[in-house]
């Protein structure tokens, strides 16, 4: 399968849902990726099973603050430079690229990199959604090393990390990334095809594209968006989404805690959900939804807030009091519920709750009484 210009728009739309409120607005990269495909031709999308066992694949992404990314115009060359430095350091030649995360901006980054280098893109990623840190990937949990981990800034400055611990690298890179301007291109997690088949979440690009296509075709009606989303998701590695509430945002708090955007909001139900309330906590992404005392959904399951006017997902920085919204939860791919993954993405890693119960299970409990 090949990704053409219009597919970039579909994937960007799907990635807004999989971003779960974070991971940034794709607009700038979307334009760049379309421009690159326009100039260099479509990007080949490879199923993980089409890869040779010994073929090297490198993960491409952006790291840093989306707000800085909207201001610093990148050339695209930063990505190529990061990739070449990684290849040089590890003495390999990349045969294909892969996404680190399929949510928000980083669903588009590897498409741009692939279009610029002419390499194929593997239909898979390491998060199945958006997460804030590099160790929160199946790559890390299932045996791939992040190193050599190369970041390149718009001004041509690059930095390499060769530490064996992904967590150490994440910590060090996030600090120097800030000193390098706050938004950098990242090449990391070189993997062979064989390892990738075990350590990546398969076919997330196809799913993301299908979500985007069906949502864009649904027009701006939240009911239609939700039902087409449900139709695409229930037969995928995700699962049937659950509608938690429809109503209005009546309270909203955002604050800076330890340098991160945290906060909570309260949605008061209307219509069928009259008299209900759902409280949502977030840090970079939506993390937890609570109905009164009862937790109804937590990370790693995806929580999305859809704007009732358009059916499109709202990012945390777009939220406003009085907005009419639907809150939905999407079951995450099962691989994220593996104990090895929950060690890094279970709710306790984000300081919200100490156990994880899948959202569909919480929901069926509700149904039975």
Partner 1 sequence: MLRLGIDVSGLHTDAVLMDENAAIVATAKVRTSPDMLSGIAEVLQAILRENKAWSSQIADVIIGTDYFENALREGKKLAKVCSIRIGQAKSMIPPLYGAPVRLQEAIGLSSCHVYGGHELDGSVSLRQLTRAEVERELRDLDAGQAEAFAITGTFSPVSHAHEIQVAEWVREICGEERPVALSHELGSIGFLERENATILNAALSKLTHDSLSGLRELLDRQKLAAEIFLTQSDGSLLTYESALRHPIRTFGARISDSFRGAALLTRMNDCIVVDVSREKVCVGVLEGGFPKESRRNQKLVGIRLNLQMPDTALIARDGHEAVDDDLLDAVYHAIQRFQPRFEPLPIVFVGQESEALAAFFKYPWSEVVHPPAYPHASAIGACIAPVSGSVDRIYWLVGEGKREQIIEVAKAEAIRSAIQAGAVPETVFVQSAETIPLSYMPTRALRMRVKAIGQRR
Contacting residues toward partner 1, per CB under 8 A: 22, 24, 27-28, 31-32, 35-36, 63-68, 70-78, 132, 153-157, 174-175, 177-178, 181-182, 248, 250, 254-256, 258-261, 268, 284, 309, 316-318, 320, 322, 324
Rounded to a whole number of angstroms, the minimum distance from the CB of residue 128 to partner 1 is 18
Token duo for residue 290 = 């609570």
Q: How many CB atoms lie within 10 A of CB 118?
A: 10
Closest CA to 270 of 320, 215, 322: 322
| Separation between Cα atoms, residue 62 and residue 101, nearest integer Å | 10
| Separation between Cα atoms, residue 366 and residue 244, nearest integer Å | 11
Nearest CB to partner 1, comparing residues 271 and 339: 271
Nearest CB to partner 1, comparing residues 24 and 120: 24
Torsion, Cα of 187, 181, 112, 315 (10° steps): 110
Supply the Cα-derived Rg of the chain in whole angstroms. 19
Q: Which helix (H) or strand (E) holds 303?
A: strand 302-307
Nearest CB to partner 1, comparing residues 182 and 353: 182
Rounded to a whole number of angstroms, the minimum distance from the CB of residue 162 to partner 1 is 22
- For tokens 């840093």, the residue is 64
Rounded to a whole number of angstroms, the minimum distance from the CB of residue 359 to partner 1 is 24
Query: Are residues 324 and 250 in contact, defined by beta-carbon separation less than 8 angstroms?
Result: no
Nearest CB to partner 1, comparing residues 7 and 78: 78
| Separation between Cα atoms, residue 274 and residue 186, nearest integer Å | 46
Give the single-character DSSP code of 47. Answer: P
Rounded to a whole number of angstroms, the minimum distance from the CB of residue 184 to partner 1 is 11
Rounded to a whole number of angstroms, the minimum distance from the CB of residue 274 to partner 1 is 12
Token duo for residue 15 = 């990635």
Rounded to a whole number of angstroms, the minimum distance from the CB of residue 137 to partner 1 is 15
- For tokens 């409280």, the residue is 279
For residue 186, the SS3 value is strand
| Separation between Cα atoms, residue 169 and residue 147, nearest integer Å | 8
For residue 173, the SS3 value is helix
Q: How many CB atoms lie within 10 A of CB 217?
A: 11
Give the single-character DSSP code of 135. Answer: T
Nearest CB to partner 1, comparing residues 311 and 358: 311
Rounded to a whole number of angstroms, the minimum distance from the CB of residue 142 to partner 1 is 24
Nearest CB to partner 1, comparing residues 24 and 300: 24
Rounded to a whole number of angstroms, the minimum distance from the CB of residue 110 to partner 1 is 17
Rounded to a whole number of angstroms, the minimum distance from the CB of residue 78 to partner 1 is 7
Helices (H) and strands (E) in the chain, counts: 12, 17
Q: What is the DSSP string of 274-307?
A: TT-EEEEEEESEEEEEEETTEEEEETTSEEEEEE
Query: Are residues 328 and 226 in contact, defined by beta-carbon separation less than 8 angstroms?
Result: yes
Rounded to a whole number of angstroms, the minimum distance from the CB of residue 253 to partner 1 is 11
């Amino acid at each position: 399968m090949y990704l053409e210009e219009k597919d970039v728009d579909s994937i960007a739309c799907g990635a807004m849902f999989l971003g779960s409120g974070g991971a940034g607005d794709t607009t700038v990269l979307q334009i760049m990726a379309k421009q690159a495909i326009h100039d260099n031709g479509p990007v080949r999308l490879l199923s993980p099973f089409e890869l040779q066992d010994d073929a090297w694949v490198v993960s491409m992404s952006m790291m840093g603050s989306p707000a800085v990314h909207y201001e610093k115009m990148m050339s695209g060359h930063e990505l190529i430079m990061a990739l070449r430095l990684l290849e040089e350091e590890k003495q390999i030649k990349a045969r294909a690229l892969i996404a680190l995360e399929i949510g928000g901006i980083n669903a588009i980054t590897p498409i741009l990199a692939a279009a610029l280098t002419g390499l194929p893109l593997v239909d898979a990623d390491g998060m199945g959604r958006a997460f804030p840190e590099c160790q929160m990937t199946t790559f890390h949990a299932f045996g791939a090393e992040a190193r050599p981990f190369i970041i390149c800034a718009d001004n041509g400055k690059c930095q390499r990390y060769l530490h064996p611990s992904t967590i150490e690298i994440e910590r060090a890179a996030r600090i120097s990334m800030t000193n390098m301007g706050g938004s950098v291109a990242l090449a990391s997690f070189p993997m062979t095809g064989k390892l990738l088949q075990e350590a990546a979440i398969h076919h997330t690009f196809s799913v993301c594209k299908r979500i985007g296509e069906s949502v864009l075709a649904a027009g701006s009606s939240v009911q239609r968006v939700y039902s087409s989303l449900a139709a695409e998701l229930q037969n995928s590695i995700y699962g049937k989404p659950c509608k938690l509430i429809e109503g209005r945002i009546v309270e909203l708090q955002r604050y800076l805690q330890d340098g991160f955007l945290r906060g909570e909001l309260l949605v008061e139900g209307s219509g069928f959900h009259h008299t209900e309330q759902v409280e949502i906590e977030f840090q970079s992404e939506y993390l937890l939804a609570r109905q009164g005392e009862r937790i109804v959904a937590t990370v790693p399951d995806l929580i999305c807030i859809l704007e009732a006017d358009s059916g499109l997902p709202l990012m945390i920085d777009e939220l406003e009091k009085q907005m009419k919204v639907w809150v939905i939860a999407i079951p995450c791919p099962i691989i994220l519920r593996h104990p090895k993954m929950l060690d890094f993405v279970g709710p306790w890693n984000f300081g919200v709750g100490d156990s994880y119960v899948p959202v569909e299970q919480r929901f069926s409990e509700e149904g039975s009484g």
